[in-house]
Structure 1
Amino acid sequence: MAMPRDDADAVLADLADLILNVGRLVRSRTPEESPRVVPLNETERQVMRVVDLYPGAAPSEIARRTRLQRTNVSTALRALEGKGMISRAAAAGRGVAVHPTELAASNLRVLREGWARELAGVLGDDLDAVRQCTELLGRLEQRLTADEQA
């Protein structure tokens, strides 16, 4: 039996609200003060995530995937290059390919270790539930990204 639309809307809105808030809470507990972590602003974090997931992406692809204006991506790429987080290389034609550096990989490892410690302290050993949640959020991200590209 289908859930009434008002109930479904409320459940979906509650999920979106929780996703946003949990992300904010995890970020607030991120070990960014560590000397092993390169501090990034929000735009740089978004750009870096795409560079990590799609090494060799062109700046235009990064802008499309982050839904940021091309000028903001260019500014973030200059800042990330200055921080040693990315390298740019000529690609086919007049294109540019953006790659994460070893410093970026190290930075991400430190952050992921911190996130894992933080969530382990809160969630304990319920890894089956974590895997189910991760799978659901992964599908949600894929579908939202696919909708953006359509």
Structure 2
Amino acid sequence: MPHRPGSADDPLAELADLVLNVGRLVRARTPTGADVVALTETERFVMRVVDLFPGASPSQIARHTRLQRTNVSAALRGLEEKGMVSRVASDGRSVAVHPTERAASNLGVLRAAWSSELAGVLGEDLDEVRRCAELLARIERHLTAGD
């Protein structure tokens, strides 16, 4: 059967819809409180790119996220105030953004909670989970390529 983009039986559109919905559902079960630094939606998005591309400049982060440079700057200010990123002057006028130890610790708490949540649903078939994660990582790399 030929692929018909946007049709009711389009598997790519269904995958995108499911990814978005599952992401929202996992986020709704994300722990809150003293152990987790609360981030806005934009801060979460920017933080993910900082984790993927440590040392990127704010302009590069904007390109990877496809967000306005002013929105990235505001998110970086918020992340810096929360101790999640550090900005270091690099060559000339450029600034390199890096995740902090606090960001790594925060991500560790979140990943442990997410893992527990999904383990209750997916059980022990980790080979299938790894294949799915590899597929999603490939999609993420393509979508954050910044071109």
* Structure (1 or 2) with the greater helix fraction: 1
Partner residue of 2:4?
A: 6
Distance (whole Å) between structure 2 residues aligned to residue 5 and residue 112 of structure 1: 35
Q: Structure with the greater relative contact order (CA < 8 A, sep ≥ 6): 1 or 2?
A: 2
Corresponding residue for residue 17 of structure 2: 17
Deviation >4 Å, runs of 4+:
none
The structure-2 alpha-carbon separation of the partners of 1:50 and 1:143, relative to structure 1 and needing over 3 Å to count, comes to: closer
1:130-145 alignment, distance < 5 Å: 130-145=129-144
The superposition leaves residues 43-76 of structure 1 with CA deviations (integer Å, 9 ceiling, x where unpaired) of 0001111111111110000101111100000001
What does residue range 94-109 of structure 1 map to in structure 2 within 5 Å?
94-109=93-108
The alpha-carbon deviation at position 142 of structure 1 amounts to: 2.4
SS of residue matched to 2:4:
helix
1:18-48 deviation digits (Å, cap 9, x = unpaired): 11101111111111x1311000000000111
Report what 1:76 is aligned to: 75
Partner letter of residue 87 of structure 1?
S
> Which TM-score applies when normalising by structure 1?
0.90
Distance change in 2, residues 1:88/1:132 (3 Å) = same
Equivalences for 1:6-85 in 2 at 5 Å? 6=4, 9=7, 10-31=10-31, 33-85=32-84
Structure 1 residue ranges without an equivalent (≥5): none
Q: Summarize deviations over 1:55-113 as a string: whole Å, max 9, x none.
A: 11100001011111000000011111111111111110100111111111100000001
68 and 8 in structure 1: CA distance in 2 versus 1, 3 angstrom threshold: closer
> Distance in 2 between the 1:60 and 1:8 partners?
33
SS in 2 for 1:97: strand
Q: Helix, strand or coil: the match of 2:86?
A: strand
**Distance (Å, rounded) in 2 between the aligned partners of 1:7 and 1:84:** 43
Aligned-residue Cα RMSD (Å) equals 1.5
1:121-132 mapped onto 2 (5 Å cutoff):
121-132=120-131
Q: CA deviation at 1:135?
A: 1.4
Q: 1:88 to 1:7 in 2, by over 3 A?
A: closer
Number of residue pairs matched by the alignment:
145
Q: Give the C-alpha shift of residue 5 in structure 1.
A: 2.7
What is the deviation of 1:145? 3.3
Identity %: 69
